[in-house]
Structure 1
Amino acid sequence: MLSLEAILEARPRVRETSRHTPCEYSHTFSALTGAEIHLKLENQQRTGAFKIRGATNRIATLTQAEKDAGVVTASAGNHAQGVALAATRTGVDSKIVMPENAPIAKVKATKNYGASVVLHGVDYSEAAERAHEIEREEDRTYLHAFDDPDVMAGQGTIGLEIIEDCPEVDTVVVPIGGGGLISGIATAIKEQRPDVRVIGVQAEGASSAASSLEKGELVTLDSVDTVADGIATRSIGEQTFPIIRERVDEVVTVSDPRIATALVQLLERSKTLVEGAGAVPLAAVLFERFDYDEDEVIVPALCGGNIDMNMLSTVIVRGLVETGRYLKIRTVLTDRPGALEDLLDIFSAHRANIYGIQHDRTSRDISMSDTEVEIDLEMRGHDHVEAFLEDLRSEGYEVDVLV
């Protein structure tokens, strides 16, 4: 099983390409939760995520013959960039297989770091199958994204930094995809400070670790569905599972709407951009997915910031919906002069700000003397939304909430 010694040995290798990222106290999230929150900002890492650590350590352990033959791996994006940069810096040829729906920004970044990219499959598991075929066809060394002790040791250097920068820590919260990150961090922390809790967090739509722990054996999901593409794996690793079982105190899950809410709050309140997987640990804290005490010192590990801009816009809107700050409604008006003005008087009375209005007189679902109206609105919270909708309906409008 992975040891603290292996992580300490990895540290000087990892320093060659990675940064010692900040662990910053957050006034905002401490006030919101009552705990003392320190954010481990691994989204500020080179390549935008923690994966550069494990990739660097693994490539450093290759023989010269393996380096000459080149490497191959599969990744949803962050491991891809880490391998690409680490390989390029050491003169090793790298080929990366990424799912066909991988974020465009991550695909472009991987190519820019010097790797050749193959798009294959609907998720990480299918991409990995193709990568193993390339491994056999081209005699390359396969660099596993998480189920490799050298990769885990590299990721474990984050745990060393947390203990050094926040020695008063009580609880560390870590996202789980395949389990390499939390295996490394948990080992680094538990072998130095066994009193510190390590909490793992998964997206509800990719909860293989939670399911495996519940059943006492590795569980492979049929599919995954989450905004947190960086942790969208159907199974944790054969080598990471026993480490998680032994060294992680609890594994919880969070829903995509809560992930979106945490991401928006990080953007708005802390001016910190993360991807879905990076928001998962904070979401678990904000929505109290595990028990913690007032004034407890908690470090959520924000593991990455590589989010596709199209996905970012979708997640922001979803986060605003979840906090009652964005509303889209549909109603039907009599097609006569002044009907829209009467409706807008109610909007004005409630100070509901209009983003856009769409009229449709051609819908088959309405009378030929009516018009259907869809309206996008900026609101000020759930209470504002409820009062606004109640007033509309009391005035006789039939209102459908679309988002």
Structure 2
Amino acid sequence: MNKIKEAQELLTRYDIRRTDLIKSATFSKLNGNNVYLKLECLQKTGSFKVRGAMVKIHNLSDDLKKNGVIAASAGNHAQAVAFASKIHDIPCTIVMPKNASPSKIVATKSYDAKVILEGDSYDESASYVKDFAEKENKTIIPAFEDSDIISGQGTIGLEIMEELEEVDEVYVPIGGGGLIAGISIAIKSINQKVKIIGVESTAFPTMKKSITANKITKAKEGYTIADGISIKTPGKLTFEIVKKHVDSIVLINDNEIVKTMFLLMERSKIVSEPAGAAALAYLNSKKKSKEQGKNLVSIISGGNVDMYLLGQIVAKGLMQTGRLLKIFVDLNDKPGALKKIVDEISKASVNIVEVEHDRLSSNVPAGTAGVYLSLELENKNQANTLLDLFRKEKINFEIVH
């Protein structure tokens, strides 16, 4: 705990932000409890990672700083290490997976770091870093398996306890475990009664499996849009801390993450990356409990989302909430055929946002035309009204998912 307090004092020297802790009316209403959001998505470099990276690099000896540092990362740790290195004016090399987000690569380079793309996952990038660091005599800045890194992330826990008098539960996304390790140490040192709940992707339940087996367990290959928590193997140090201080670990899927990212943008005007929204997604997926009025804190751990992915999130979020409907309609390829469809859509007060004709696909018979229509609606009830009109007029259609 003393190291975390020292880290908090150190971070003020570098103007690392004390991020806002806000109560969300939207998510409080959906959950039935008082839901607070710790907005690390508004931190410098766009995530909590800069806290640990700054502490670690500050504590390096002058000789180690002179030789430079290296780190493996899918994006957020990369930007954090690059930023901290630039502040300390030391050489920095970042190894990222080949499938890393282009926006995160560009952002990392903007802090004057040298970027190497190597490996198809974080674990493969990390393996490459070990050999490279030994050859080039560079210091590895771990993403999570380090006491300085953990202490830096733990300052988030101190801020929560300083700003909210009564805290019942804190929900934290888990990748390698550095964030939840630091937060759990800080909070449990102040109040043992506060429950710490870790949230992992269903595709990478690494820490949950390890805790259940009571030993470090490697996750099978999976896929999730939450690349920031797609870690195959947790750290040994973080595993021991999580085993001691974390009350439970739960899982969340990509569909719930998409829905939560969409709601965060639309209702709270907050942009989060998938991993950053994972903890809140779990809270949002739960049915309202009979026991209400608790103070629940969700860490929104990062906001570095690829713009192309963000566009998909908006479209999928609209579809999940019944606000966007895409249908395929069979038409006779004759004048007036499309007008009949448009008239029915107008009757239902639905807005057409996109029209695409298809006469050439193999599933479209000669003499007919297929039309893809993207429709903007108020809710699912309005969609059902429109589809009932189509059925009444015997219009052949399919919903496109």
Q: Give TM-score scaled by structure 2 length.
A: 0.95
Q: Which runs of 5+ in 1 are unaligned?
A: none
Secondary structure, counterpart of 2:335 in structure 1: coil
Match of 2:278 in 1: 280
Deviation, structure 1 residue 290: 9.8
Q: Which residue of 2 aligns with 1:374?
A: 372
Alignment pair present for 1:120 and 2:118: yes
Equivalent pair of 1:254/1:280 in contact (CA under 8 Å): yes
In structure 1, distance between residues paired with 2:5 and 2:156: 11
* Cα distance in 2 between the residues matched to 1:346 and 1:241: 59
1:5 counterpart = 2:2: yes
Asked if 1:347 corresponds to 2:345, the answer is yes
Preserved contact between residue 322 and residue 378 of structure 2 (Cα < 8 Å):
yes
1:235-384 aligned at under 5 Å gives the runs 235-288=233-286, 293-384=291-382
Give the conservation status (yes or no) of the 8 Å contact 2:41–2:276.
Answer: yes
Shift of 1:381: 2.4
Report the more deviating stretch, 72-81 or 33-42. 33-42
Mapped contact 2:31–2:287 kept (Cα < 8 A): no
Q: In the alignment, what sits opposite 1:27?
A: 25
Shift of 1:215: 3.0
Secondary structure at 2:13's aligned position in 1?
Answer: coil
CA distance in 2, matches of 1:391, 1:125: 54
Change (3 A) 1:274 1:91: same
AA aligned opposite 2:32: G
Shift of 1:16: 2.8
Q: In 2 relative to 1, CA 34–330 (structure 1 residues): closer, same or farther, beyond 3 Å?
A: same
Change (3 A) 1:383 1:309: same
Among 107, 110, 128, the residue aligned to 1:109: 107
Does the 8 Å CA contact 1:253/1:289 hold for their aligned counterparts?
A: no
Q: Name the SS of the counterpart of 2:115 in structure 1.
A: strand
Task: Give the aligned length.
Answer: 400
Over the matched positions of the two proteins, sequence identity in percent amounts to: 39
- What's the CA shift string for 1:76-101, capped at 9, x where partnerless? 11111111111111122110001122
Report the Cα distance in structure 2 between the residues aligned to 1:148 and 1:292, rounded to whole angstroms.
40
Tell me, in whole angstroms, the C-alpha distance in 2 between the residues paired with 1:187 and 1:289. Answer: 29
Secondary structure of 2:41's partner? helix
- How far residue 214 of structure 1 moved from its aligned partner, in angstroms, is 3.1
CA RMSD of aligned residues (A): 1.7
Q: Which consecutive residues of structure 2, in runs of 5 or more, have no partner in the other structure?
A: none
Distance 1:235 1:253, change over 3 A: same
CA deviation profile, 1:344-399 (whole Å, cap 9, x unmatched): 22211222211111111122222212111111111222333334334423433333
Q: Shift of the alpha carbon at 1:292?
A: 8.0
Between stretches 60-69 and 311-320, larger displacement belongs to: 60-69
* Cα separation, partners in 2 of 1:220 and 1:57, compared to 1, 3 Å: same
Q: 1:115 to 1:191 in 2, by over 3 A?
A: same
- Contact kept, 8 Å, 1:224 with 1:233, in 2: the verdict is no
**Distance (whole Å) between structure 1 residues aligned to residue 336 and residue 213 of structure 2:** 63
Match of residue 12 from structure 2: 15
Match of 1:205 among 177, 182, 203: 203
State the TM-score, normalizing by the size of structure 1: 0.95
